[in-house]
């Protein structure tokens, strides 16, 4: 349980970090932010980087700010920063509601939002949030800066669109409308464990009918994604128990669960159904009427 | 450098000049270089919480960070909890409420609880239970640990007013 040897680098700025990655990524160099997934992998010798570029001390990357209609989350922003509302309105409350499902408190004080996105674990809560809300990932390398949409970013289990010399410098989340409804539900065997399945749903009510629904599922397939069939089942209709059940059934049919854990595919479908139904049921209760 | 490097760690207000490889975890460094063996190394991959210490006042797993990353930060370990011979209210409460049997997880629980109660002296029961689920205890069970932390929280609040 001892990590392998590596050379440690502590850049002072984002530019310096990117320059280091350009030089070191061909030599098995990689970024460490909070290290709450990477260090266990190193302890188990599943990861043996030759160089670590530690961005946790880069002050400019700890920025968490609203720019226009987006919340901009810097690469060194920890999970715990979201536990109290990071931004006014439903988005801040959504992020606070989701954050407490991530690992445990001493993990959240170190682990980072962008680190979770770049790690792309299928059971990552933030990856579901990014997929659901349509986040924009900003990747910077010595070659330049580019933006990648969530739908193109997640490419499989622990696989993303990031090149090895790119730093995920920030993630931009669109703010939700003031009247947006949201609900999140996660099932895991014990609090803090990896999710068996989770769902995040947002929509707006316009004249009593559902508009702009977004429903995403995580922990089930090799990457989180929006489930179009479930969204189609509720758009333009009035919320009712039967409607939510129809959307949940549609999601359960639409997913293709990975069967690499102990759970069977059918069990994963069942938990997906329950997660989507419960996320939608939570969204149906206006925030000011929740317990 | 993957060879050994010289670093300074501030632990319980005292400076420790130590020489470590970058791969040396904070918990191993505390125990073996600083001679502070109160922090226990349990699972060594972030699951059990036996190695919990405070980093700038916040509980962290000392097995999930490298000692080189703790330079310039304030560390607190179990050795820094009591004031001389006077036990911290949490330590006394763990004794009074039988919050430990074998004691292996105890330093981690004490630092976890200390970090949380200093930030949130009025933490509610549900949140406290959630926080205490961060660490594993496999012999005492959680009831007496929860009881002890609640009692210490009451006492610490009382001491302030």
Residue whose structure tokens are 């445990």: A104
Tens-place pLDDT, residues B42-79: 999 999 999 999 999 999 999 999 999 999 999 999 99
Is residue A291 in a domain? no
pLDDT for the residue numbered A79? 98
A238/A180 Cα distance (integer angstroms): 15
Is A107 an 8 Å CB contact of chain B? yes
Best to test chain A binding among B42, B49, B53, B65 (most A CBs inside 10 Å) = B65
Query: What average pLDDT values come out for chain A (291 residues) when binned by 10 residues?
Result: 96 98 97 98 97 97 97 98 91 96 96 98 97 98 98 97 98 95 94 91 95 97 97 96 97 89 83 98 80 59
Per the model's pLDDT, the better-predicted residue between A84 and B7 turns out to be B7
Q: Which two tokens stand for residue B28?
A: 């191993």
Question: What was the ipTM of the complex prediction?
Answer: 0.94
Angle, CA of A78, A37 and B128, to the nearest 5°:
55
Identify the three-state secondary structure at position A154: strand
Domain shared by A46 and A149, yes or no: no
pLDDT for the residue numbered A253? 97
Tens-place pLDDT, residues B94-107: 999 999 999 999 99
Domain shared by A47 and A64, yes or no: no
Contact B23, A51 (CB under 8 A): no
Residue range of the domain that includes A231: 181-285
CATH code (residue A29): 3.30.43.10
pTM over 0.80: yes
Contact across the interface for B112 and A105, Cβ inside 8 Å: yes
Is residue A76 in a domain? yes
Interacting residues of B20 by C-beta distance below 8 A, sequence separation 6+: B4, B5, B7, B29, B33, B67, B68
pLDDT for the residue numbered A139? 98
pLDDT for the residue numbered A291? 59
β pairing state of B74-76 and A154-156:
unpaired
Domain shared by A82 and A167, yes or no: yes
In Å, how far is B78's CA from the nearest CA of chain A?
Answer: 16
A273/A267 Cα distance (integer angstroms): 10
Domain shared by A187 and A233, yes or no: yes
**A36-40, B78-82, B149-153, B157-161: range with lowest mean pLDDT:** B157-161
Residues 6-65 of A with CB under 8 A from B: 6-8, 10, 35-36, 39-40, 42-44, 50, 52, 54, 56-57
CB atoms under 10 Å from CB of A60, counted, come to 15
Domain shared by A128 and A87, yes or no: yes
* Number of domains within chain A: 3
pLDDT for the residue numbered A289? 67
Strand order in the sheet with A167-174: A64-67, A70-74, A167-174, A136-141, A144-149
- Nearest by CB to B64, which of A35, A54, A191? A35
Residue whose structure tokens are 């999601």: A251
β pairing state of A144-149 and A29-32:
unpaired
CB pairs under 8 A between A and B: 92
pLDDT reading at B160 higher than 70: no
CATH code (residue A116): 3.30.465.10
In Å, how far is B69's CA from the nearest CA of chain A?
Answer: 8
- All domains of chain B in start order, with CATH: 5-80 (3.10.20.30), 89-160 (1.10.150.120)
């Amino acid at each position: 349980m001892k990590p392998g040897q590596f050379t440690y680098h502590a850049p002072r700025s984002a530019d310096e970090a990117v320059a280091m990655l350009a030089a070191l990524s061909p030599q098995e160099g990689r970024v460490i932010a909070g290290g709450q997934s990477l260090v266990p992998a190193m302890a188990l010798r599943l990861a043996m980087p030759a160089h670590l570029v530690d961005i946790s001390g880069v002050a400019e990357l700890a920025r968490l700010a609203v720019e226009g209609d987006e919340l901009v989350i810097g690469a060194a922003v920890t999970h715990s920063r979201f536990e109290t509302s990071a931004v006014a309105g439903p988005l801040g409350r959504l992020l606070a509601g989701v954050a407490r499902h991530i690992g445990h408190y001493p993990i959240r004080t170190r682990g980072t939002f962008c680190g979770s996105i770049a790690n792309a674990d299928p059971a990552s809560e933030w990856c579901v949030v990014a997929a659901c809300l349509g986040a924009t990932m900003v990747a910077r390398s010595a070659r330049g800066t580019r933006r990648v949409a969530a739908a193109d970013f997640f490419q499989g289990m622990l696989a993303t669109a990031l090149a090895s010399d790119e730093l995920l410098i920030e993630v931009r989340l669109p703010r939700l409308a003031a009247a947006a409804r949201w609900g999140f539900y996660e099932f895991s065997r014990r609090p803090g464990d990896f999710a068996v399945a989770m769902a995040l749903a947002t929509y707006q009510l316009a004249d009593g009918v559902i508009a702009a629904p977004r429903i995403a599922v995580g922990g089930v397939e090799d990457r989180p994604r929006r489930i179009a069939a479930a969204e189609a089942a509720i758009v333009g209709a009035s919320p009712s128990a039967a409607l939510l059940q129809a959307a949940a059934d549609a999601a359960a049919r639409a997913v293709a669960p990975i069967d690499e854990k102990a759970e069977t595919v059918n069990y994963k479908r069942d938990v997906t159904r329950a997660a989507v139904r419960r996320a939608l049921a939570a969204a149906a209760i206006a925030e000011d009427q929740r317990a | 450098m993957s060879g050994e490097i010289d670093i300074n760690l501030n632990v319980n207000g005292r400076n420790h000049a130590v020489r470590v490889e970058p791969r040396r975890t904070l918990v191993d460094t505390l125990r073996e270089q600083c001679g502070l063996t109160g922090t226990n190394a349990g699972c060594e991959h972030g699951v059990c919480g036996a190695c919990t210490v405070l980093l700038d006042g916040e509980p962290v797993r000392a097995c999930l960070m490298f000692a080189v990353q703790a330079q310039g930060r304030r560390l607190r370990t179990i050795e820094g909890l009591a004031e001389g011979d006077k036990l911290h209210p949490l330590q006394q409460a763990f004794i009074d409420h039988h919050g430990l049997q074998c004691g292996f997880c105890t330093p981690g629980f004490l630092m976890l609880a200390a970090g949380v109660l200093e930030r949130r002296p009025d933490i509610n029961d549900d949140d406290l239970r959630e926080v205490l689920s961060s660490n594993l205890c496999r012999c005492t069970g959680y009831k007496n640990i929860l009881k002890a932390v609640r009692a210490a929280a009451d006492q610490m609040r009382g001491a302030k007013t």
